[in-house]
Amino acid sequence: MMSDQELYILSYYRACELSGSILFGKLAFHTTIGEYRIPLTEHCLEEAEHAWRWTKVIKDLGRIPVKVTETYQTEYGKLFGMPENTLEIFCLTQVFEKRTLNQFTKHLNLPDTNPLVKEALQKMIDDETGHIGWIREELDKYARENGQGKLDAIMQKLEKMDEEVYDKLSNTEPFKTYFKDLL
Ligand SMILES: [Fe+2]
Ligand SMILES: [Fe+2]
């Protein structure tokens, strides 16, 4: 049986994946750019699969996911507001996926993690690498057309914001205690 601490952390991951899936589903639904329709739908599917994967891990370890209302993306929203265009969404996603990759790698390095959790982390690390890939290509295209400087400026601003959000999360329980040996 997993601890309440671990249950909350995995439920938090689940909520963030679900929130990502809902966002990409909406984008796939509304986009007027034909060439985005396929990758956005696939991205929506994979985030939904991730949400299900965490749900299943929690279930298989004998618990029920807890309700998490404030996700990582909620914190972005507070600092950044609503993204106004595709570029901002792609940049935010890029920063978020990098953070996710970082966090899952960190989690994988914790001693005594259940093999089911480890397996899920590894699978998601592989998928998130793909997500970063397709968005990277779109951002590179943007930079070629509009100048690298403009893109770098947005990314720098968002990375700073992400540091702030991550700092806050790392200092909040149960994250603070659970990951203390790695900080
Ligand atoms: Fe994901
Ligand atoms: Fe992702």
Q: How far is CA 42 from CA 1, 73, 80, 88, 130, in A?
A: 34, 20, 26, 20, 11
Domain housing 77: 4-176
Q: What is the pLDDT of residues 55-96, one digit of tens each?
A: 999 999 999 999 998 999 999 999 998 888 889 989 999 999
Determine what percent of the chain falls in helix, strand and coil, rounding each to the nearest 5: 80, 0, 20
Nearest alpha carbon to residue 97 among 68, 132, 72: 132
In a domain, 171, yes or no: yes
Would you say residue 169 lies in a domain?
yes
Residue range 117-129: mean pLDDT, rounded: 93
Is 9 a domain residue?
Answer: yes
181 lies in a domain?
A: no
- Does residue 165 sit within a domain? yes
The verdict on residue 182 lying in a domain is no
Q: Count the Cβ atoms, other than its own, within 10 Å of residue 153.
A: 11
Give 140-161 pLDDT, tens digit per residue.
999 999 999 999 999 999 999 9
Q: How far is the CA of 67 from the centre of ligand 2 (A)?
A: 21
57 C-alpha to center of ligand 2: Å? 18
Please tell me the total count of domains within the chain: 1
User: How many whole angstroms from 171 Cα to the centroid of ligand 1?
Assistant: 23
Please check whether residue 87 lies inside any domain of the structure: yes
Task: Tell me if 124 is assigned to some domain.
Answer: yes
Residue 36 pLDDT > 60: yes
Residue 183: pLDDT above 80?
A: no
Please spell the DSSP secondary structure of 147-166, one letter per residue: -HHHHHHHHHHHHHHHHHHH
Q: Provide the CATH number for the domain around residue 92.
A: 1.20.1260.10
Question: Which residue matches tokens 């990409």?
Answer: 24
**48 alpha carbon to ligand 2 midpoint, in Å?**
10
Whether the model pTM is above 0.85: yes
Q: Is the pLDDT assigned to residue 181 strictly greater than 80?
A: no
